[in-house]
Chains A and B, each alone.
Chain A
């Protein structure tokens, strides 16, 4: 895990703690590289203008009067 920054590992530990997950050491070691990659991927998603709407904005259809 030498390639995982300490800050990333600490962020992971904090997230697991907040979620109430008791992550054993072996699981932590297995997941951390993937977590670091996931955080890098998340950065790819940023930078859209404020007006860019998400895919799950929804519309209602009229039902008629009660």
Chain B
């Protein structure tokens, strides 16, 4: 159970008080993987030898009085699109089933340098799109809250591994909601920081101008600690922002008194897939934030359909460009759902893409204008609880899409999915906190206030798996 796993901060306290060792924490994580992954399929590759070597190194550093910070000795896992030197990185695809990168992605390098222990590489929807699929070299991850239900994607293994308590933190990637979606369905926190805040270098691209990297975690504090480690300028990532990284923990418990929060209610209240339990949980969280001293008001944004169209054209075009050569020569090596998503790119024109980029500027300006008057926005993340495997909507029909995450990939604003309680079938519900560019600290602070109200970081959020 997730509640049996101490938080990253608590593990850190125990390590520094010599009440445990990184090797013990890492062996416990590996034991949880061994016990649960046969049913969940969260992992593609378990890196037990690497994890234990990392752990012994961390313990030796503690013994020598060397402290690299809050991640030293902490077990974690990576979505299997993050390059790991000497460890295969498959993208959950037949096309890259045996690819072993020479060097780490920048995020993997930073986590290793911070003293983390890499437990393994996680399932994803193939090339971070589509899914869940049963025609790939590895099975799809299953939702620990109910294995008959999907995890969401594409960071499917990341959501499952964190929800099941295998690790407190797993890295995901988010091009249209692939961190926040599985976080929502699996009852974890999912943080997509501002575009350019976290390096994408060495992470297999899906859509260059929409791709973000970030953590899925059991609790908001875990996400704040992780972002503190991985955020910051990477001069070798062309999108990386040279903007100072704030202190994400200093104000985390500061509450929301005096904050002004906007709710673009028209986004989700009329959405076809929105369910009463999601809406009720959203309103309970809004009430809790008001009770804690925030002013919460409805706001107007451009039509959701415009964000959705803009993002879909950009994603489909850029992804097609990445895969164009392989689609021509190895189409049948992709899973069927992936084929469906990728070939659509051949049906878009250069003018379609430029129009989308023109609209993107207008939409970004519109969101910035609202955020000039409000500290953050609150909106839906997933519109309902996770569906069963046999009830997944057609991935190519976006009118009834079950997520509302894509707008903030289009605009690049920081956005975090936070659990709000349980809905139909006892499955997790969530909302999304959207902040000003590079103001992740406020997003975390609001998320923590919601978490405090729901008790999700404690017993309320423990997964029964």
B339 in contact with A54 (CB, 8 Å): no
Q: Given A27-B340, A31-B343, A45-B310, are A38 and B357 also a contact pair (CB < 8 Å)?
A: no
Q: How far is the CA of A23 from the CA of B346 in the complex (A)?
A: 11
Report which of A11, A15, A34, A53 forms a contact with B397, defined as CB distance below 8 A.
Answer: A34
Determine whether B309 belongs to the interface, using a CB cutoff of 8 Å to chain A: yes
Q: How far is the CA of A41 from the CA of B317 in the complex (A)?
A: 14
Q: How far is the CA of A11 from the CA of B346 in the complex (A)?
A: 11
Nearest Cβ distance between residue A43 and chain B, in whole angstroms?
Answer: 8
Determine whether B352 belongs to the interface, using a CB cutoff of 8 Å to chain A: yes
Determine whether A1 belongs to the interface, using a CB cutoff of 8 Å to chain B: no
Determine whether B356 belongs to the interface, using a CB cutoff of 8 Å to chain A: yes
Contacts of B348 in A (CB 8 A): 38, 42
A38 in contact with B312 (CB, 8 Å): yes
Contacts of A23 in B (CB 8 A): 331, 343
CB-based nearest A residue for B412:
A55
B362 in contact with A52 (CB, 8 Å): yes
CB-CB contacts below 8 Å: A29-46 with B: 30-31, 33-35, 37-39, 41-42, 44-46
Q: How far is the CA of A63 from the CA of B361 in the complex (A)?
A: 27
A45 in contact with B309 (CB, 8 Å): yes
Contacts of B344 in A (CB 8 A): 31, 34-35, 38
Q: How far is the CA of A56 from the CA of B396 in the complex (A)?
A: 26
Q: How many residues of B contact A (CB 8 A)?
A: 38
Encoded as 1 (CB less than 8 Å from any A CB) or 0, chain B from 231 to 261 comes to 0000000000000000000000000000000
Contacts of A42 in B (CB 8 A): 309, 313, 348, 352, 355
Q: How far is the CA of A8 from the CA of B311 in the complex (A)?
A: 22
Central interface residue in A11, A30, A48, A53, by most chain B CB within 10 Å: A30
Chain B interface, DSSP helix/strand/loop, else mixed: helix
CB-based nearest A residue for B332:
A24
Contacts of A52 in B (CB 8 A): 358, 361-362
Determine whether A22 belongs to the interface, using a CB cutoff of 8 Å to chain B: yes
Report which of A21, A46, A54 forms a contact with B343, defined as CB distance below 8 A.
Answer: A21
Q: How far is the CA of A16 from the CA of B342 in the complex (A)?
A: 11
Q: Given A41-B309, A42-B309, are A35 and B328 also a contact pair (CB < 8 Å)?
A: no
Contacts of A41 in B (CB 8 A): 305, 308-309, 312-313, 398
Contacts of A21 in B (CB 8 A): 327-328, 331, 343, 346
Q: How far is the CA of A21 from the CA of B340 in the complex (A)?
A: 12
Q: How far is the CA of A52 from the CA of B305 in the complex (A)?
A: 20
Nearest Cβ distance between residue B342 and chain A, in whole angstroms?
Answer: 9
A19 in contact with B352 (CB, 8 Å): no
B347 in contact with A15 (CB, 8 Å): yes
Contacts of A55 in B (CB 8 A): 209, 357-358, 360-361, 364
CB-based nearest A residue for B316:
A38
A54 in contact with B361 (CB, 8 Å): yes
Residue positions of B touching A, CB distance < 8 A: 209, 305-306, 308-310, 312-313, 316, 324, 327-328, 331, 336, 339-340, 343-344, 346-348, 352, 354-362, 364, 394-399
A selection of 8 A-B contacts at a CB cut-off of 8 Å is A19-B324, A19-B328, A31-B344, A35-B347, A37-B399, A42-B352, A42-B355, A54-B357
- Nearest first, the 8 closest Cβ-Cβ pairs linking A and B are A34-B396, A54-B357, A19-B346, A41-B309, A45-B355, A55-B360, A55-B361, A15-B347
Given A16-B347, A45-B358, A48-B362, 7 further pairs, Cβ under 8 A: A11-B347, A30-B396, A31-B340, A38-B344, A53-B358, A55-B357, A55-B360
